[in-house]
């Protein structure tokens, strides 16, 4: 498992840095491709839901059944799954309302007249958004890191899905910060820093979890990871995808994400 340590750190860093890509897009693009945004967010949700329920949950149960027996192992798997959902739901509940990262921003907002720039109220909103996204990204970093240690192919798939949904989060930070300060540099910096919470999550997992990563601990963490990713998909990705939906594109994205994930898992058998 430790053979993939640097790959796990690298993938977690890559997923987090996708928020910086979002801020760059907000500076260089003239319009938001809402059709692609809807499809890609749906695709990301499809990948996360499929891999969580078909692969991660099953591996968690296998590890826990091996460590604790069939009955107790099954209960621990279900408990870990809903424990993960409870964790991310509590994080979601206690982040500041002004910084709710679910609110997607359009790059067209960067084309407002100069009089709209340097609105002090937006600085608070943008800062809270960056903080909220950082808090959300922390458990995602743990999920990516632990998954890659267990199965590099699985880790790559999760990285791609998380990176896709981190891009619009980067826009959500950059747009209000830019209009609060008039500084693209500061907007990019805060967007970039919010994404670094994912590799920080990996570092915490390495020092606090890895020394105790028995089959029992691994199974509980993996079950929780499945719950976290299902919650993110249902609470964040799908509502955001539906907001810009045209002709069921978001659902086609979900099905496409599931299909790609299914085929990729079959290829690694």
pLDDT digits (tens, 9 = 90+) for 48-107: 899 899 988 998 999 999 999 999 999 999 999 999 999 988 887 876 554 444 455 555
165 is annotated as contributing to ligand binding: yes
pLDDT of residue 99: 47
Q: How many domains are there within the chain? A: 1
pLDDT tier, 174 (very low <50, low <70, confident <90, very high otherwise): confident
On the CB side of 123, CA atoms within 13 Å amount to 9
In this structure, are residues 148 and 12 in contact, taking their beta carbons and an 8 Å threshold? yes
pLDDT of residue 264: 78
CA-atom Rg of the chain in angstroms: 19
33 is annotated as contributing to ligand binding: no
By mean pLDDT, which of 120-124, 129-133, 231-235, 257-261 is the weakest? 120-124
In this structure, are residues 88 and 228 in contact, taking their beta carbons and an 8 Å threshold? yes
Could you tell me the residue range of the domain that residue 202 belongs to?
Answer: 2-267
* Model pLDDT for residues 97-155, shown as the tens digit of each residue: 544 444 555 555 555 544 444 556 667 767 777 777 788 788 888 888 988 888 888 88
In this structure, are residues 101 and 172 in contact, taking their beta carbons and an 8 Å threshold? yes
* Model pLDDT for residues 12-62, shown as the tens digit of each residue: 999 998 888 878 876 765 555 677 778 888 888 898 899 899 988 998 999
Quick one: which of 113, 104, 106, 103 has its CA closest to 30? 106
Q: How far out from the chain centre does Cα 212 lie?
A: 25
Mean pLDDT of 226-236: 89
pLDDT of residue 49: 92
140 is annotated as contributing to ligand binding: yes
111 is annotated as contributing to ligand binding: no
By mean pLDDT, which of 207-211, 237-241, 265-269 is the weakest? 265-269
Higher pLDDT, 128 or 230: 230
In order of 77, 85, 149, 169, 250, the CA distances from 216 in angstroms are 10, 19, 16, 34, 37
Mean pLDDT of 228-247: 82
pLDDT tier, 168 (very low <50, low <70, confident <90, very high otherwise): confident
pLDDT of residue 147: 84
On average, the pLDDT of the chain sits at 81
109 is annotated as contributing to ligand binding: no
2 is annotated as contributing to ligand binding: no
In order of 176, 179, 199, the CA distances from 112 in angstroms are 12, 9, 34
């Amino acid at each position: 498992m430790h053979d993939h340590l640097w790959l796990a750190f690298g993938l977690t860093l890559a997923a987090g840095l996708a928020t910086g890509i979002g801020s760059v897009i907000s500076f260089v693009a003239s319009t938001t491709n809402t059709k692609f945004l809807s499809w890609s967010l749906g695709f990301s949700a499809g990948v996360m839901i499929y891999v969580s329920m078909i692969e991660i949950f099953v591996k968690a149960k296998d590890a826990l059944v091996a460590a604790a027996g069939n009955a107790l192992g099954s209960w621990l798997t279900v408990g870990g799954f809903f424990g993960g959902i409870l964790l991310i739901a509590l994080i979601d509940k206690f982040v500041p309302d002004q910084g709710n990262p679910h609110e997607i921003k359009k790059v067209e907002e960067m084309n407002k007249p100069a009089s709209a720039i340097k609105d002090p109220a937006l600085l608070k909103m943008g800062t809270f958004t960056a903080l909220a996204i950082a808090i959300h990204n922390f458990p995602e970093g743990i999920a990516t890191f632990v998954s890659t240690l267990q199965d590099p192919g699985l880790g790559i798939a999760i990285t791609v899905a998380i990176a896709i949904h981190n891009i619009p989060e980067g826009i959500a930070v950059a747009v209000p910060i830019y209009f609060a300060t008039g500084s693209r540099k500061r907007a990019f910096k805060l967007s970039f820093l919010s994404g670094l919470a994912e590799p920080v999550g990996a570092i915490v997992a390495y020092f606090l979890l890895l020394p105790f990563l028995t089959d029992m601990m691994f199974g509980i963490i993996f079950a929780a990871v499945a719950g976290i990713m299902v919650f993110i998909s249902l609470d964040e990705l799908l509502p955001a995808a539906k907001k810009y939906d045209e002709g069921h594109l978001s659902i086609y994205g979900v099905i496409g994400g599931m299909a790609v994930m299914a085929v990729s898992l079959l290829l690694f058998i």
